[in-house]
Structure 1
Amino acid sequence: MEYHPEPVQQLILCCSCGIAIPPNPANMCENCIRNEVDITEGIPKQGTIHFCRNCGRYLQPPNYWLSCELESRELLALCVRKLRGLSKVRLIDAGFIWTEPHSRRIKVKLTIQKEVFANTILQQQFQVEFTVANQQCDDCDRVMAKNTWKAVVQVRQKVSHKRTFLYLEQLILKHRAFKNTTNIKEVRDGIDFYFAQRNHAIKMVEFFQAVVPVRSKSSERLISTDIRNNTSNYKFTYSVEIMPICREDLVCLPVKLARSLGNIHPLVLCHRVGNTVSILDPNTLDAAEIQSAAFWNNPFSPLMNSRELTEFYVLDVEPLGPTRGKLMLADVTVARASDLGTNDTTFLVRSHLGHLLNSGDHCLGYDLTTCNFNNDQFDQLDAGRIPDVVIVKKHYPGRRKKTKRRTWKLKTLTKEQDELVARKQDLKRIEQDYELFLRDLEEDPELRANINLYKADDARSVMTNGGTDMDETETDFPEVQLHELMNELDINDEPDEAMQ
């Protein structure tokens, strides 16, 4: 058996200190290389990160605030990204060194590699200490500075319900028009929006002009003046008044305005409200648009609103054929729901809902036979052309009343309430208006297409239980489809204190 001696490793002397080392291209030992070359040069050993004590978020430059726990991966990534010079080396490992939570210090241990000589890679560990400095984020700054406003936008509508403001609130949320507000306060006839800058208030007024029919005026108040620098400090107030005509209102137009709108019959229904008001004659399907300027030049009030609707029972429907979009004329025989079983009073009326109504259905309308109007325009109408009943929409009796059964929900603005609004009778009325608004969204796909609907927290359980949460007779009720809903989580969006 042959003997093979183990190969002996050749050693060389370090050119700097003279100790024996394995050969390497630098001909130097590791300690001498570290003494000659510092691969951490250019990387700061100290830094500062900013923390908001109100919301518990850290600043990620330039202007994004990140929520993360101590010694979390998110905080470690934030610390590493603040170190300049890491792009010139290879980062091998990073981790936290434990410190007292109240010490306002965060220590990070880093391991890096870098090629220092030809084919010589040096690895080194070092520590970086970050000081946690307090800085208030923009969102908390707007909340804390609610009393230091520069301009206010006062939105008002003189009607007996809040359904217009409920719809307007959803438009504000969808388009994020509330982003620059310092405070939002709800008052009896509207909402006040406070801003730290005047141009933000002007943008808010322009937004209202684009989505609802309004008129606006502005005023200013001198707060202080500096005669040395010839400068003055003002507070600006913008008053925005929404047209007091709402969806489903019965309106009697002034004769001059009716003639200018294609000689439409003065007694019409408000069909839809956008930046203009769409009106419809339910007897002929004639439609027109009322501009804001035309209304404010000759303002008028609605004859009846949605709070005065009467429930009717449909006895017979005879379609007449003429259509306008989805609408169709029909002769409908109806009777008051309260008269069923007591008398035989019926009404034959013409309606624009021939595509929706069938015998046995219920509908809501205005009963003009029991009304006495104090309106000069209405008194000038030909009595033979005034219908007994104006049908407004289809009704679903026995509908669910608890919003928790819905598989969808809406977001709301965080608002301060005035003392008058906080009274019990007002809160009860607001809850009724909110429920009616939700029903309008379920019945009208075009109306809910303009706003964002979100999946409710218990949507999955309600859908998997089939119809256990509601009566079997509710299967024909209009519902919001699942594909129309959005997830509540907004990716890459900053959290907003004005939305909940």
Structure 2
Amino acid sequence: MMDGVEQLSAEEAGAFSAGTLATIACCLCGTAIPPNPSNMCASCLRAQVDITEGIPKALAIYYCRNCGRYLQPPKAWIAADLESPELLTLCIKRLKGLSRVKLVDAGFRWTEPHSRRIHVRLTIQKEVFARTILQQEFIVEYTVQYQQCDACKRDAAKIAAWQAVVQARQKVDHKRTFYYLEQLLLKHGTHQDALGIKETGDGIDFYFANRSHAVKLLAFLGDVVPLRHKSSEHLVTHDTHSNSYNYKYSFSAEIAPVCRDDLVVLPPKLSASMGGIGPLVLVSRVSSAMSLVDPTAVQTTDLPAAAFWKTPFSPLMTSRQLTEYTVLDVETTGETSGKFAAAEVTVARSSDLGVNDSTVLVRSHLGHVLHIGDLVSGYDISNAVYNDSLLTGHKASFELPDVVLVRKTYPRRNRARGRKWRLARMAVEMADDDARVARGGAGARDPATRDAEEREGFLQDLEQDAELRAHVNLYRADGATGGEGADGGAEETAMTDADVPAGAGGDADEEDDDEYPEVPIEELLDALDLSKGRDAEGVEGEGDGAEEGAGTAGQ
């Protein structure tokens, strides 16, 4: 003993300095182990506690042999090679219970490619006792089962196996309504159940495998446009032994032939029932109801779809008859109604400037946006040809004004190449040229040129109208390309500059107008990702890719 401390032997001192710890016996098997809170060795601990409990060891994943993609529930189909990171991610996401443990490592264990088995090796950790973490490795077996994806089903069906069809029609000489409907359908995904979509002369046909899908689309259309419909059914087969019937259902949906910016004369009874507004009014917005504004009295009202179909009417003049005017003077009167303000506006036809001194004094509802020097679109009623029968029944004192101003406009430019945003497109089987020419009427221009100009007009409407953009998904142009996607289905494709010819929309001058409204960058979504047939938000494409999409234009 030295100073009360026991003298250690040389061997004991070496063991102490090397950090040798005391051991204990495992409470179950008696094996010498370092002390731990469970007092059990690793083998006994694994035997007593299974941290993989609740994690399935066998699952099924679905594979489409036609397009080589795997199902990622609930609806997405992704392309992945064997033993690829994408397939590993898909397999791990299918496992339930991993949130309760810590995933340390994951990888594939080799299997025969033709075995239809995928083995994934997982290493997980979990704290089983206080300061006792158990790590365990196990294998999950995935059985690959064959299932045809929706896109391949539609390809195989070739629209011949449809059970229900929705035939949307609008008796107008343009496709503005259908351009707008296209964007609404893409935004809400209502078209995803369609076997195929086919354009006709004055509308679009949607084919479905189930009647319920057609009814769902019909209900959606009724919520966004003034619509009336009727249905019919055709008996295809009848089994007398089992008393079973097979029908094909047709739904004819007629959209009101009145669009945004149309000039209408309300029937006398309808005008009286709406508080005496008009009867000459402008259509400022069309949804499930029509928003009307009296440009002279600066009054606004909404016309429900049911009231329109009870007393239907046609427009006196449409947006194809708009004339460009230049504002020479503006004097507001102080009267307002909603966003509109009354003003006395002096205008002259832009084509008459420098030719004659003809001017017109107009009372307009656009006092809140017009300034001296602005361009404005309006109807030149004094020189127009219209249907006089639409005025039948009104008092003899009712006279049409010489000019009705509709909306502020901007100098014509080809803005397609400088546009920093794009729209998604639906893949539609295009109508033949004869039907497209018939829609344009006698003396119509080339259908492709007319469609491109109409679409460019719709894009400019989106740029100028923030309320209209609020219902449409706009995507950043970076990385957006048109064309067919990878899944071979009805692809949602991005709009490209090739969709608009160099001369579309007016002069080829591409100089920017400082006053021309720009789409704020915060309103744009991420660019479309077409590499796997879906956009940046994971919306999957639908059917064969196409160069042209079904049109829908801003109402």
TM-score normalised by length of structure 1: 0.81
Instruction: Tell whether the 8 Å contact from 1:411 to 1:499 is kept in structure 2 after alignment.
Output: no
SS of match in other structure, 2:335 = strand
Question: What's the counterpart of residue 269 of structure 1?
Answer: 282
1:144 lines up with 2:144 in the alignment: no
Post-superposition offset of 1:392: 0.8
Question: What's the counterpart of residue 253 of structure 1?
Answer: 266
For 1:217, the aligned partner's letter is K
Q: Indicate the larger mover: 61-70 or 246-255.
A: 61-70
Post-superposition offset of 1:255: 1.9
Q: C-alpha distance in 2, partners of 1:44/1:359? A: 73
SS of match in other structure, 2:220 = helix
Residues 45-70 of structure 1 deviation map (CA, whole Å, 9 limit, x = unaligned): 87653212344332356766444343
Alignment map for 1:149-188 (pairs within 5 Å) = 149-188=162-201
Q: C-alpha distance in 1, partners of 2:516/2:461? A: 12
Question: What's the counterpart of residue 315 of structure 1?
Answer: 328
Post-superposition offset of 1:76: 2.6
Residues 424-472 of structure 1 deviation map (CA, whole Å, 9 limit, x = unaligned): 822221111111111111222112112222222179xxxxxxxxx9535
Q: Check 1:127–1:298 CA distance in 2 against 1; reply closer, same or farther (3 A cut).
A: closer
1:75 lines up with 2:120 in the alignment: no
SS of match in other structure, 1:251 = strand
Question: What's the counterpart of residue 408 of structure 2?
Answer: 394
Alignment map for 1:114-153 (pairs within 5 Å) = 130-145=142-157, 146-153=159-166
Instruction: Tell whether the 8 Å contact from 1:413 to 1:499 is kept in structure 2 after alignment.
Output: no
Q: C-alpha distance in 2, partners of 1:315/1:121? A: 82
Gaps of 5+ in 2: 1-7, 23-30, 36-40, 438-444, 481-508, 529-534, 546-555
Post-superposition offset of 1:339: 1.3
SS of match in other structure, 1:471 = coil
SS of match in other structure, 1:476 = coil
Alignment map for 1:26-425 (pairs within 5 Å) = 48-60=60-72, 65-79=77-91, 93-98=105-110, 104-109=116-121, 130-145=142-157, 146-378=159-391, 382=396, 385-398=399-412, 400-420=413-433, 425=446
Post-superposition offset of 1:143: 4.4
Post-superposition offset of 1:243: 0.4
SS of match in other structure, 2:10 = coil
Post-superposition offset of 1:292: 2.4
Post-superposition offset of 1:88: 11
Q: C-alpha distance in 1, partners of 2:358/2:60? A: 82
Gaps of 5+ in 1: 11-20, 460-468
Instruction: Tell whether the 8 Å contact from 2:51 to 2:126 is kept in structure 1 after alignment.
Output: no
Match of 1:437 among 455, 458, 465: 458
Question: What's the counterpart of residue 14 of structure 1?
Answer: none
Post-superposition offset of 1:215: 0.8
For 1:386, the aligned partner's letter is L
Instruction: Tell whether the 8 Å contact from 1:412 to 1:499 is kept in structure 2 after alignment.
Output: no
For 1:249, the aligned partner's letter is D
Question: What's the counterpart of residue 466 of structure 1?
Answer: none
Q: Check 1:69–1:317 CA distance in 2 against 1; reply closer, same or farther (3 A cut).
A: same
Q: Check 1:316–1:104 CA distance in 2 against 1; reply closer, same or farther (3 A cut).
A: same
Post-superposition offset of 1:289: 2.5
Post-superposition offset of 1:487: 2.3
Question: What's the counterpart of residue 469 of structure 2?
Answer: 448
Post-superposition offset of 1:104: 5.0
Post-superposition offset of 1:240: 0.5
Q: C-alpha distance in 1, partners of 2:95/2:411? A: 66
SS of match in other structure, 2:316 = coil
1:497 lines up with 2:503 in the alignment: no
1:479 lines up with 2:518 in the alignment: yes
Post-superposition offset of 1:385: 3.0
Q: Check 1:390–1:230 CA distance in 2 against 1; reply closer, same or farther (3 A cut).
A: same
SS of match in other structure, 1:201 = helix
For 1:203, the aligned partner's letter is K
Q: C-alpha distance in 1, partners of 2:202/2:300? A: 30
For 2:461, the aligned partner's letter is D
Q: Check 1:381–1:67 CA distance in 2 against 1; reply closer, same or farther (3 A cut).
A: farther
Question: What's the counterpart of residue 10 of structure 2?
Answer: 4
Q: Check 1:63–1:340 CA distance in 2 against 1; reply closer, same or farther (3 A cut).
A: closer
Post-superposition offset of 1:152: 0.9
Instruction: Tell whether the 8 Å contact from 2:176 to 2:458 is kept in structure 1 after alignment.
Output: yes
SS of match in other structure, 1:369 = helix
Instruction: Tell whether the 8 Å contact from 2:262 to 2:319 is kept in structure 1 after alignment.
Output: yes
Q: Check 1:289–1:22 CA distance in 2 against 1; reply closer, same or farther (3 A cut).
A: closer
TM-score normalised by length of structure 2: 0.74
Post-superposition offset of 1:212: 0.8
Q: C-alpha distance in 1, partners of 2:305/2:459? A: 27
Instruction: Tell whether the 8 Å contact from 1:187 to 1:418 is kept in structure 2 after alignment.
Output: yes
For 1:483, the aligned partner's letter is E
Q: Check 1:63–1:436 CA distance in 2 against 1; reply closer, same or farther (3 A cut).
A: closer
Higher RCO (C-alpha 8 Å, min separation 6) = 2
Instruction: Tell whether the 8 Å contact from 2:76 to 2:538 is kept in structure 1 after alignment.
Output: no
CA RMSD in angstroms, aligned pairs only: 4.3
Q: C-alpha distance in 1, partners of 2:74/2:379? A: 58
Q: Check 1:122–1:337 CA distance in 2 against 1; reply closer, same or farther (3 A cut).
A: closer
